[in-house]
Structure 1
Amino acid sequence: MKDSLSLENENYKKIEKVIRYIDENFKEQPKIDEIAQYIGMSKYHLIRVFKEYVGVTPIQFLQSITLNYAKEHLKESKSILDSSLDLGLSSSSRLHDLFVNIIGVTPKEYKELGKNVDIIYGYGSTPFGEALIGFTKRGVSYLGFIDDNKESIFNRFKEIWAKANLIRDDEKAKEYLNKIFVKKEKFDLYVKGTNFQINIWKALLNIPSGTITTYQDIANSINKPKAARAVASAIGSNHIGFLIPCHRVLAKSGAMSGYRWGIERKKILVAYEAMKSGNQKS
């Protein structure tokens, strides 16, 4: 009868083989049954053992590999459709399972400050304090955290969407916040900004939870290495907290400065995500 160390050693070799297989075949998006058959294990045993070693299931690992590839590939791709086909995904909409999708207002809506756009808004609790959320049929249009600045947060929301039809409904707002922070559902984000700002906010979505980066790194990622200050300004103008993770960007020195919703909250968000990320890896 084999001792536990021998069994662990065998399991490790199998997991190592699985990871190599996923690395080599992720473009084909293999199913869990295919992976299990390749390694000669039942899929349930494979999932259990893989999670013990890696911290996530094989399919979650596959999605992570795919996402990392997509982040790099999208920089060079002429279209999201090209990226989707190269990744072996069925259509461009499949990428939305991996990314939060940002929808910018039309030029006309931008010029008219959201005229004739219906925005439901309200207040509710989150794990990081009270928040004001606004949302339309096309997605979340505002999310701001509140301390002793409830009036100023609302005024900024109203300024951004100055000509929109603002409809207060705290119950619906609480339902939306519950879906975001408890159920972890993904949402389209309906944003108002310049093309440069929207490109920066999209770049922020590529920063994995539990990690941090710098303004300079973001500038480099959009091929504008001399635009670090402009990047910082665009990040500071983000009007959808948490979902567009501007809290993951620090000064080059590592200082936690420039967070619209409070430096303390930024520190908590960074620490919380780092802890969650560490738990997933352990």
Structure 2
Amino acid sequence: MDQSDDLRLQQMSDYRRIEKAMVFMAGSASRQPTLDEISAHVHLSPFHFQRVFCRWSGTTPKRFLQAITLERGKRLLREDKALLEVSHDVGLSGSSRLHDHFVQLEAVTPGEFRNGGEGLCIEYGFHQTPLGQMFVAITPRGICRMGFIDHTNAGAALKELRRAWPKSTLISSEMATRHVIDVLFRDRPGRPTGPLSLHVTGTNFQVAVWRALLRIPPGRLASYSLIAAALGRPGSSRAVGNAVGANPVALLIPCHRVIQQSGALGGYRWGTAKKQMVQTWEQLRSEFL
């Protein structure tokens, strides 16, 4: 094993500790665990844990813990504003510009859907991140799948990809998918030099909802009913929720930014604890932009 392999293994170990610490803080936020408690939970000294956490998450454990609260989610919904004004504030109306400027969504055509990906090469990889292990799959036109996985559902991610693109050729290549992770989890938040493209399949309504999600700025939240109204479909909150739940690309199509009208977290394909972690991570990163 050479030095680069040793470094890669150390990074994976650090990522797992950060994820474990974030899960612990999210579950214990009501009692505000101390740095000593959190570091002991991941079997590191407080000094070493503080350094590792800051290096890979871009913030301190204390700051992360402070940000974990549902009150943050209620902030927008408590504002005494008209629906259209709030909708404009979160970018759901009045602008067609995508929030991050670098995410371009391209939907699969009906013909491509019928072909089932025939003649298409899809490369996929599994990557450790500060938010947990992720599965990424890309076509020559963009990212077609991305989601959180663990030891229980890694195989399911591949099966789901195969169901969506039954006639495609799947190739394992972490080198090909690494760029996506590097863009999302770079040490200092910033814009990449080129756009990240999404190549997704869905109904017209699902794609419309996903485009609406792309217009919610980082660190902001919107309710299912707000999105339904902004799409000209008031009363279709349940349908919006189903479309949000069918999102095939975690993080880049930000379904984690959608919460219930009451301010409660609502559901999340990868679990509510993960949703809270992602919201907090994104809010803290957006403070640097």
> In 2 relative to 1, CA 69–217 (structure 1 residues): closer, same or farther, beyond 3 Å?
closer
Following superposition, the deviation at residue 111 of structure 1 comes to: 2.0
Q: What does residue 77 of structure 2 align with?
A: none
Helix, strand or coil at the partner of 1:73: coil
Q: What does residue 214 of structure 1 align with?
A: 223
Helix, strand or coil at the partner of 1:189: strand
Q: Using the alignment, how far apart are the partners of 1:201 and 1:236 within structure 2?
A: 10
Tell me the alpha carbon deviations over residues 109-128 of structure 1, each in whole angstroms, 9 at most, x when there is no partner.
Answer: 11222222211111112221
Which of 180, 186, 192 is the aligned partner of 2:184?
180
| Identity value in percent | 36
- The 8 Å contact of residues 126 and 136 in structure 2, kept in 1 or not, is answered as yes
Q: What amino acid sits opposite 1:131 in the alignment?
A: M
- The 8 Å contact of residues 206 and 243 in structure 2, kept in 1 or not, is answered as yes
- The 8 Å contact of residues 127 and 134 in structure 2, kept in 1 or not, is answered as yes
Q: How does 1:76-91 map to 2 (within 5 A)?
A: none
Helix, strand or coil at the partner of 2:251: coil
Q: How does 1:120-199 map to 2 (within 5 A)?
A: 120-147=123-150, 148-182=152-186, 185=192, 186-199=195-208
Q: Using the alignment, how far apart are the partners of 2:220 and 2:100 within structure 1?
A: 21
Gaps of at least 5 residues in structure 1 are: 1-66, 81-94
Of stretches 267-276 and 201-210 in structure 1, the one that deviates more from structure 2 is 267-276
Question: What is the RMSD of the two structures over their aligned residues, measured on CA atoms?
Answer: 2.5
Helix, strand or coil at the partner of 2:248: coil
Helix, strand or coil at the partner of 2:196: coil
Tell me the alpha carbon deviations over residues 180-233 of structure 1, each in whole angstroms, 9 at most, x when there is no partner.
Answer: 322753401111111111010000001111111111011011010121111100
Q: Which protein has the larger Cα radius of gyration, Structure 1 or Structure 2?
A: 1
Gaps of at least 5 residues in structure 2 are: 1-87
Greater relative contact order structure (CA < 8 Å, 6+ sep): 2
After the TM superposition, list the runs of 4 or more consecutive aligned residues in structure 1 that deviate by more than 6 angstroms. 67-70
Q: Using the alignment, how far apart are the partners of 1:253 and 1:114 within structure 2?
A: 41
Q: Using the alignment, how far apart are the partners of 1:272 and 1:102 within structure 2?
A: 23
Q: TM-score, normalised by structure 1?
A: 0.63
Q: What amino acid sits opposite 1:267 in the alignment?
A: Q
Which of 253, 256, 260 is the aligned partner of 2:269?
260
> In 2 relative to 1, CA 110–263 (structure 1 residues): closer, same or farther, beyond 3 Å?
same
Q: TM-score, normalised by structure 2?
A: 0.62
Q: How does 1:27-66 map to 2 (within 5 A)?
A: none
Helix, strand or coil at the partner of 2:133: strand
Q: Using the alignment, how far apart are the partners of 1:179 and 1:98 within structure 2?
A: 13
Helix, strand or coil at the partner of 2:94: helix
1:205 matches 2:214: yes
- Which one has the bigger helix percentage? 1
Tell me the alpha carbon deviations over residues 139-177 of structure 1, each in whole angstroms, 9 at most, x when there is no partner.
Answer: 111101112321222222222222222111122223432
